[in-house]
Amino acid sequence: MPPLFIRLRIMAYSHFGYGQRFAVQLGRNWVVLFLVILVVLFSFTGRGFFSPKTLNNILLTSSPALLLAAGETFVIITGGIDLSVGFVRGLISVISAIIMRDLYARGYSPSFCIPLGIVVGLALGLLPGLINGILVARFRVPPFIATLGMYGVANGFALRFSKGFPITFLPPEVGQIGNGFFAYFLPGRGLSFFARHADIVEGEMRNLIGIVPYAIVVVAVLLLIFAFILSRTQFGQHVYAIGGNIDAARRAGIPVERDLIRVYMISSFFAALSGVMYTLIFSIGTHTQFSASLELFAIAAVVIGGASLMGGKGSIGGTTLGVLVLALLEIGFLMSGILPFYRYIAVGTILIFAVVIDQTFPEIIYE
């Protein structure tokens, strides 16, 4: 008897017959379909699901995950995996917050210590990726092990710097940057750019609508840049080639080691950016809890978005869809009054489901 996954395929196709083309389309776009179903479902179960505020919330909740997942996309396309992103994010959040807090406490102006915290955090954020990349590319350590080691190291350092407590007492301007909007709209008083309307009365605060948060703009711009790099540059082509067949890539003269190191640096840069953004949005620096499992969600999003852990395929666009599915699940569950822990079950199930589809119907992805 053929293995189960072959039997499943035979079953599916004997039923579809002429509908194979339809099946292929369905399989390819099941994430989009799923997203639509989720939106419809939650618009029934959650009150006020369709509102600018919910949309903003979905975008804001997903932005840190989106950053981690975008970096992870590069790594997974090369056939690797980066397990350290969650803790690198926590480490950089703590470091940037400590820099801001300590300089501010010594009397430096916020306009000096906030940019310094951001820049130093991002620069240090390249380091874990450099080490991961060197271990993977030059020393041929399996990516899983190299980044699992970094997972421990980053978590240890984050706990050491923060002593297990969130870093607080940052300059108050931090939150204004992190939670700021490009424009504010107040009914009856019109638009105001970059800052709230002057002399707002207490009652008017509730009607104030923020338009386009800074955080989302930063994320969107970076995603577009890196989507361009992945799909339109030579480096991006190399990333796919390495994931497709690393030996062939090497023989074709692709600088595999250099490119792999860059890929891991991109991943940890995105993790660092996510950490800095956390600090800016919440005005605290916090190490990541073990149970937060951020790397689970990042990897799940990439895989749901159509990447294969064997390497060679995946895209930033697909990953963005994957992240939106997960963010929608989180917000939708919350608004429908379902315990947030069901999200973990849903994510785990969807992840397995995505890979089973990928595994059982390969022609859905490669025609």
Partner 1 sequence: MVLSEKGRERLYLLGKSWIFLFLLGEAVIFSFIGTGFFSAKNFQNILVASTTILLLAAGETFVIITGGIDLSVGFVMGLFCVISAKIIVSLQALGFSPVVSLVVSIAGTLLLGLLPGLLNGVLVAKLRVPPFIATFGMYGIAYGLSEILCNNVPIAGLPSLVGFIGNGYLLYYLPGRGFTWFAPPEGLGRGEVRALLALFPNVFLFAILVVLIFAFILSRTQFGQHVYAIGGNIDAARRAGIPVERDLIRVYMISSFFAALSGVMYTLRFVTGRADAGSARMLDSVVAVVIGGASLYGGTGNMIGSIIGTLVIGVLETGMVNLGLPTYNKYVYVGVILVLAVLIDQFFPEMVRKGE
Least spacing, CB of residue 325 vs partner 1, in Å = 14
**Part in contact with partner 1 (CB under 8 A); list of ranges 90-98, 193-201, 244-252, 343-351:** 343-351
Judged by CB under 8 A, does residue 300 bind partner 1?
Answer: yes
Q: Which residues pair with 185 in a beta bridge?
A: 191, 209
Q: Which of 26, 293, 313, 365 binds partner 1 (CB under 8 A)?
A: 293
CB of 296 to partner 1, least distance (A): 6
Q: Kindly state whether residue 237 participates in binding partner 1, applying the rule CB under 8 A.
A: no
Given 159, 216, 229, 334, the residue binding partner 1 (CB under 8 A): 159
Task: Give the 3-state secondary structure of residue 285.
Answer: strand
Binding residues for partner 1, total number by CB under 8 A: 50
Nearer to partner 1, 151 or 264 (CB): 151
DSSP E strands in 137-215: the ranges are: 181-186, 190-193, 209-213
Give the binding range for partner 1 (CB under 8 A) out of 42-50, 118-126, 211-219, 344-352: 344-352
What is the rounded distance in angstroms from the CA atom of residue 94 to the CA atom of residue 162?
Answer: 6
> Radius of gyration over alpha carbons of the chain, in Å?
22
Nearer to partner 1, 19 or 348 (CB): 348
Residue 88, interface with partner 1 (CB under 8 A)? Answer: no
Backbone angles phi, psi at 182, to 5 degrees: -70, -35
Residue 291 burial by CB count (10 A; 0-12/13-18/19+): exposed, middle or buried?
A: exposed
Of 197-205, 251-259, 270-278, 348-356, which segment contacts partner 1 by CB under 8 A? 348-356
As to burial, measured by CB atoms within 10 angstroms (0-12 exposed, 13-18 middle, 19+ buried), residue 197 is: middle
Site for partner 1 in 169-188 (CB under 8 A): none
The window from 159-167, 174-182, 212-220, 263-271 that contacts partner 1 (CB under 8 A) reads 159-167
Give the binding range for partner 1 (CB under 8 A) out of 153-161, 185-193, 274-282, 317-325: 153-161
Helices 342-360, 294-304: axis angle to 10 degrees equals 40
Single out the residue of 280, 234, 353, 347 nearest to residue 117, CA to CA.
Answer: 280
DSSP E strands, the chain: 181-186, 190-193, 209-213
Token pair of 2 as six digits: 């053929």
Which residue from 221, 252, 310, 363 is in contact with partner 1, where contact means CB under 8 A?
Answer: 310
> How far apart are alpha carbons 229 and 221 in whole angstroms?
12
Q: Does residue 11 belong to the site contacting partner 1 (CB under 8 A)? A: no
CA angle 354, 324, 216 (to 5 degrees): 150
Binding footprint of partner 1 on the chain (CB under 8 A): 3-5, 81, 135, 139-142, 144-146, 148-153, 155-157, 159-160, 163-164, 290-291, 293, 296, 299-300, 303, 309-310, 339, 341-349, 351-352, 355-356, 359-360
